[in-house]
């Protein structure tokens, strides 16, 4: 029997292909969620399956006590995509990547004679471990029954408030450039650049949590490139492995020594081999111009959806294929998500009034068209 910690929809999927899923009764669904932004190349990608099969027949696990060739290759690839100069640690989830960032920041702060304070933003989300929950700037993620939460974390309403509260104890500031669980909220570029400048002057680390908005989700490998900043630490997960569990923490600061951190499973042969392949394919998609075209078409579809339903929608938010539609009435959010499922198109929620779209990055025209047809039907039913 499973633990009662998920509110699952009453549907189970048995097969997938691209942005299409089939349930156990044979009905097809258009997936505009891609496993919460994970399956960047869609479901059952033949190339990914081939890499998995090949590696499974060769070698799966030896642990990080020994050299792992595909791990080294992936680290070099990610560092190169970031412009060089980054060291990588691989783990299994976004929360683990952020835990690594916390330890890096605290050791850095210690080396500077500071305490270990890490500052985040209100409405942020950084994971579900006790430490990453404490770093998450939403009170609803801090129920008393999971306390006491570790000290050393503070969050503020705005970047201006963060800057005003920097002090001799601040080791790092962590931000999501597009807040994934907080309403698909892109941060203001000028304010982010000013924050990065001030942190650099004060020798305080800037961490960007790109677990959801990274790996080409917003049109570039890292969203920090769109903001013209160079973070000291960047965390990744989700789209990095197209469904295999892998995350990464990249740092420009050589902080750790042997024994400071580790993972039994992190960065194993299978996941790093798959991730290198996934990044190659996503890089091709970007460099060919196809990704930018898909983004432009998807944005137009959403804009049309809002125009045709201006009685319930306020605006489009987000960047690239990390998009949200803000509702005038938050009470409609659950109804639309539910009706969408009934009409066999998968969408997500973000915050208390935003529909969230995280489709595969290689979404086809046919899949996109059919998905919006079904979504329009769902919206019309939800409004009745």
pLDDT tens digits, one per residue of 32-54? 999 999 999 999 999 999 999 99
pLDDT of residue 89: 98
Domain holding 32: CATH number? 3.90.1150.10
What are the tokens at 108?
């850095």
Question: CA-CA distance, 29 to 15, in Å (whole number)?
Answer: 11
Whether residues 322 and 186 share a domain: the answer is: no
pLDDT of residue 368: 98
Q: Which of 262, 287, 312 is the last residue of a domain?
A: 287
- The β-bridge partners of 185 are 179
**Domain membership flag for residue 1:** no
Question: CA-CA distance, 279 to 2, in Å (whole number)?
Answer: 34
Domain encompassing residue 216: 47-287
Whether residues 110 and 152 share a domain: the answer is: yes
Angle CA(292)–CA(350)–CA(174) in degrees, nearest 5?
80
Q: Phi then psi for 15, rounded to 5 degrees?
A: -160, 150
Q: Which of 287, 307, 335 is the last residue of a domain?
A: 287
**Domain membership flag for residue 2:** no
Domain holding 203: CATH number? 3.40.640.10
- Contact criterion met (CB below 8 Å) for 371 and 56: no
**Domain membership flag for residue 8:** no
pLDDT of residue 57: 98
Whether residues 297 and 273 share a domain: the answer is: no
Whether residues 227 and 298 share a domain: the answer is: no
pLDDT of residue 244: 98
Q: Which H or E element spans position 335?
A: helix 332-342
Whether residues 61 and 164 share a domain: the answer is: yes
Query: What is the length of the chain?
Result: 384
pLDDT of residue 115: 81
pLDDT of residue 325: 97
Question: CA-CA distance, 57 to 269, in Å (whole number)?
Answer: 11
Longest dimension (CA), the chain: 62
Whether residues 137 and 239 share a domain: the answer is: yes
Q: Which of 287, 308, 337 is the last residue of a domain?
A: 287
- Contact criterion met (CB below 8 Å) for 320 and 5: no
**Domain membership flag for residue 378:** yes
Name the stretches of the chain with pLDDT < 70: none
136-141: long-range contacts, CB 8 A cutoff, minimum separation 24: 137/182, 138/181, 138/182
**Domain membership flag for residue 167:** yes
DSSP 242: B
CA 133, 333, 307, 328 dihedral sign is: negative
pLDDT tens digits, one per residue of 174-192? 999 999 888 999 999 999 9
pLDDT of residue 196: 98
Question: CA-CA distance, 307 to 73, in Å (whole number)?
Answer: 47
Q: Phi then psi for 236, rounded to 5 degrees?
A: -130, 160
**Domain membership flag for residue 222:** yes
DSSP codes of every residue in 57-81: HH-----TTS--HHHHHHHHHHHHH
If one counts the domains in the chain, the total is 2
**Distant-in-sequence, close-in-space partners of 217: CB < 8 Å, separation ≥ 6:** 37, 40, 223, 238, 239, 320, 321, 322, 358, 361
Whether residues 88 and 30 share a domain: the answer is: no
Sheet holding 313-319, edge to edge: 313-319, 322-327, 354-357, 348-350
pLDDT tens digits, one per residue of 244-302? 999 999 999 999 999 999 999 999 999 999 999 999 999 999 999 999 999 999 999 99
DSSP 238: G
What pTM was computed for the model?
Answer: 0.96
Q: Burial level of 147, CB count in 10 A (0-12/13-18/19+)?
A: exposed
Which residue bears the tokens 């194993």?
268
pLDDT of residue 266: 97
**Domain membership flag for residue 257:** yes
């Amino acid at each position: 029997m499973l633990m009662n910690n998920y509110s699952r929809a009453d549907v189970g999927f048995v097969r997938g292909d691209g942005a299409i899923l089939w349930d156990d009764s044979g009905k097809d669904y258009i997936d505009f969620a891609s496993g919460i932004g994970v399956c960047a190349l869609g479901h059952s990608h033949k190339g990914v399956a081939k890499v998995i099969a090949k590696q499974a027949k060769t070698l799966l696990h030896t642990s990080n006590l020994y050299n792992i060739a595909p791990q080294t290759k992936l680290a070099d690839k990610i560092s190169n995509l970031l412009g060089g100069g980054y060291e990588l640690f691989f783990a299994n989830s976004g929360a683990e990547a952020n835990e690594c960032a916390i330890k890096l920041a605290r050791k850095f702060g210690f080396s500077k004679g500071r305490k270990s304070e890490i500052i985040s933003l209100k409405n942020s989300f950084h994971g579900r471990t006790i430490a990453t929950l404490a770093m998450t700037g939403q009170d609803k993620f801090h129920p008393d029954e999971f306390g006491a939460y570790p000290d050393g974390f503070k969050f503020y309403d705005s970047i201006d408030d963060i800057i005003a509260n920097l002090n001799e104890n601040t080791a790092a500031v962590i931000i999501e450039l597009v807040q994934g669980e907080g309403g698909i909220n892109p941060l203001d570029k000028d304010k982010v650049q000013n924050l990065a400048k001030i942190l650099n002057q004060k020798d305080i680390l800037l961490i960007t949590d790109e677990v959801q908005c990274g790996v080409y989700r917003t049109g570039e490998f890292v969203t920090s490139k769109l903001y013209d900043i160079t973070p000291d630490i960047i965390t990744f997960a989700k789209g990095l492995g197209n469904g295999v569990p892998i995350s990464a923490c990249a740092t420009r600061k050589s902080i750790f020594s042997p024994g400071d951190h580790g993972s039994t499973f992190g960065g194993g042969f299978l996941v790093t081999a798959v991730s290198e392949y996934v990044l190659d394919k996503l890089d091709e998609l970007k460099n060919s111009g196809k990704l930018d075209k898909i983004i432009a078409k998807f944005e137009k579809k959403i804009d049309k959806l809002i125009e045709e339903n201006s009685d319930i929608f306020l605006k489009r938010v987000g960047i690239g294929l990390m998009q949200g539609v803000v509702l005038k009435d938050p009470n409609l959010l659950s109804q639309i998500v539910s009706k969408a499922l009934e009409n066999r198109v998968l969408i997500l929620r973000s915050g208390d009034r935003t529909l969230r779209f995280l489709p595969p990055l290689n979404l086809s025209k046919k899949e996109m068209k059919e998905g919006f047809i079904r979504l329009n039907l769902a919206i019309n039913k939800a409004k009745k």
